[in-house]
Structure 1
C-alpha cells in the first residue's frame, strides 16, 4: 500500500538549509529490515518511521534509521517529526501543543508550535542527561592528528577533548578558532583515533561564531552517515551530549542557561540549535533541545 511521507529541513526556517529529514507516517507492517532498506533509499542522515504508540497517552512511537543503522535517539528527527505530526493534526495559531514521543531511548516530551503553512518550531526535554563515557578523555595530540590540525589548535579556555553521551556517545573536541574548525578534516588517522565504540562520531566546536547571539559553532563528523557522507549539518543528539562538556568546562551558575549553537555553515547548510540547561545545586537537572523546521516535499512511498 502507499505510505505517506514528508521531507523537512530541520533546525532552520529556510528551505534547503538545515538538516534534511524523511518522515514516513504510515509505517505499520514494516519490519526493521524494510525500514533500513527505505532509509538507504532516502540516503538522508536519518529517516523516521511513525508507528502507533504503545501507550495511548503518547502521540506516536518512532523508529529512527541512518542509511546504515538504527539509532535509539536523535535530535533533528525528534524536532522534525514533532513538527510534522503537529502539521498532520491540523494544529494552527499561536497555541503550543505538548505530547510524548516514544523512542528507543525512552519517552521524549515535546512542545510544538505551528508557525505557518508547512512550518513550526519544537523543543523537547532530554530523556537522558549527558554522562561522561569511556575510561579516559581523548588525547589532544591524537585528536589533532586525526583531524589534520596542529596540536596547539585543540582546546581553548578551559575546554579540552571529552566524551559524553545523552543516549548517543560523541567525542567532543574543542578547537581554538573558526579557521581551525573550517579546516578540520578526517585524516588517514581518523578511524584509529575515533573509530572505537558503538558510535564513532566527533563533535568539533569553537567559541568563534557567525551570529553574535550564538555561543558556539560546531561540526559533526562520522563514518555512520551513509556512503560517501562524513558530515552532518545539524546534530541534536550531539548538542545534547555537548551539555555534558559545558557542565565539565564552563563556569555555569545556578538557574536556566540558553545556549545557541551554529552548525552546518562549512557545508552551506546553516543550522541553529537551541540548547537550554537547568542547573540546581551545581548539578544539571534538566536540559532541552529546540529548533525550527520547514516541509519541503510530500509524497507517497510504494514499499
Structure 2
C-alpha cells in the first residue's frame, strides 16, 4: 500500500464550502488507471485529479482528471484547484506569475493574479444544435421555446450543449428532469442579470452523463460560454458569473477577454489536507 499527499480544494470561492470541491492527489506516480478511476468513483466529487511529472519540457506538471464515470481531457475548476494545491505544497513555476499545466487536451496556461488564479481558455469548437434534439432538451428542462434565445454545441474538451436564455430568473427557475437529460447531453444554461446586479450573468450546468446531476461551478463551461457570447456581442469583455445559487453555493467566475485570450479565474481555498493510502 502506497501513501500520497492529498488536498481537497474548494474552487471559485474564498469561503470554504461555498464553491466546487476537487480532490487532488499529489505525486501520483505508481497509481494505475484503474486505481485513479476507483478513487474518483469513491470520492464521488464531480472531479478528482492526479498530479504527475510533466512529459513536456514546457509544462510545470501533468494533470489527469477523472469524474466518477471516466477521464476528462480538460476541466476548469480541477485545473484551478489542482494548481492551487500544487503551489500550496511548494510547487515553483518555471516562469514567475505563470503555471503551465499539461493535460490530455494539451498545455494550459494559468495566470497567478494575487489571491486568484485564471486559466487561458483552451481552443473551443462550436456548432449548431439539431432541432429535434433541442426540442427534447427544452422539454426535459421545462423551457418554452421563447425562453431560449440561442443554442450551440460547445467543445473545449468537455462537450456541452449551451443555451442562452432570456433572463437570469429563468435560469434559476428551471427544474430539470434529470432522468430525461441523462440520455441527451450535458447542458449549460446562461442568461444576464438585470443591470447593476452583483454579477453579470447566472450559469447552471446539468451534467448527468458523468454522474453529477448539477455541477456547482463549472470552469470549462464558463470558458466556452465566454468565447461564444463575447465573440457574438452578447457579453462584455470582462464580467463576473454567478453559479451554484440553486445548490446554496456562491461560486464566482471572473472572466477577462484580453486580446485573443479569454481568462477564466477565481479564488480557491484548501479545506482538507491529509494523506491517501491506496
TM-score above 0.5: yes
Instruction: State the alpha-carbon separation in 2 of the partners of residues 251 and 236 from structure 1.
Output: 19
Counterpart check, 1:173 vs 2:174: no
Normalised by the length of structure 1, the TM-score is: 0.82
Instruction: State the alpha-carbon separation in 1 of the partners of residues 168 and 255 from structure 2.
Output: 20
Choose 52-61 or 64-73, whichever is displaced more. 52-61
Instruction: State the alpha-carbon separation in 2 of the partners of residues 216 and 138 from structure 1.
Output: 28
Q: Deviations over 1:88-126 (max 9, x none)?
A: 1177xxxx631211011011111225x6xxxx4211212
For residue 299 of structure 1, what is the aligned residue in structure 2? Answer: 274
Instruction: State the alpha-carbon separation in 2 of the partners of residues 138 and 205 from structure 1.
Output: 21
For residue 75 of structure 2, what is the aligned residue in structure 1? Answer: 74
Secondary structure at the aligned position of 2:237 is classed as strand
Distance verdict in 2 for CA 1:294–1:210, change over 3 Å: farther
For residue 58 of structure 1, what is the aligned residue in structure 2? Answer: 59
Counterpart check, 1:286 vs 2:261: yes
Q: Deviations over 1:241-277 (max 9, x none)?
A: 112430454267xxx9212111001100110111222
Secondary structure at the aligned position of 1:161 is classed as strand
Q: Conserved in 2, the CA contact under 8 Å of 1:143 and 1:173?
A: no
Distance verdict in 2 for CA 1:191–1:15, change over 3 Å: closer
> Per-residue deviation at 1:216?
0.8
For residue 183 of structure 1, what is the aligned residue in structure 2? Answer: 173
Counterpart check, 1:131 vs 2:125: yes
Gaps of 5+ in 1: 280-284
Q: Conserved in 1, the CA contact under 8 Å of 2:128 and 2:151?
A: no
Gaps of 5+ in 2: none
Counterpart check, 1:230 vs 2:225: no
For residue 145 of structure 2, what is the aligned residue in structure 1? Answer: 151
What does residue range 1-303 of structure 1 map to in structure 2 within 5 Å?
1-89=2-90, 97-113=97-113, 120-128=115-123, 130-133=124-127, 136=130, 141-155=135-149, 160-187=150-177, 189-191=180-182, 195=184, 200-208=185-193, 212-226=197-211, 229-247=212-230, 249-250=232-233, 257-279=237-259, 285-303=260-278
Instruction: State the alpha-carbon separation in 2 of the partners of residues 170 and 44 from structure 1.
Output: 19
Instruction: State the alpha-carbon separation in 1 of the partners of residues 242 and 165 from structure 2.
Output: 15
> Per-residue deviation at 1:135?
6.3
> Per-residue deviation at 1:178?
3.0
Instruction: State the alpha-carbon separation in 2 of the partners of residues 162 and 186 from structure 1.
Output: 19
> Per-residue deviation at 1:138?
7.3
> Per-residue deviation at 1:189?
4.0
Q: Conserved in 2, the CA contact under 8 Å of 1:140 and 1:151?
A: no
Q: Deviations over 1:121-163 (max 9, x none)?
A: 21121232x22135657766444312012222222xxxx1111
Normalised by the length of structure 2, the TM-score is: 0.89
Report the aligned-residue RMSD.
2.5
> Per-residue deviation at 1:63?
0.1
Q: Conserved in 1, the CA contact under 8 Å of 2:193 and 2:202?
A: yes
Q: Deviations over 1:58-93 (max 9, x none)?
A: 2110000011110000000111111111111177xx
The number of residue pairs the alignment matches comes to 274
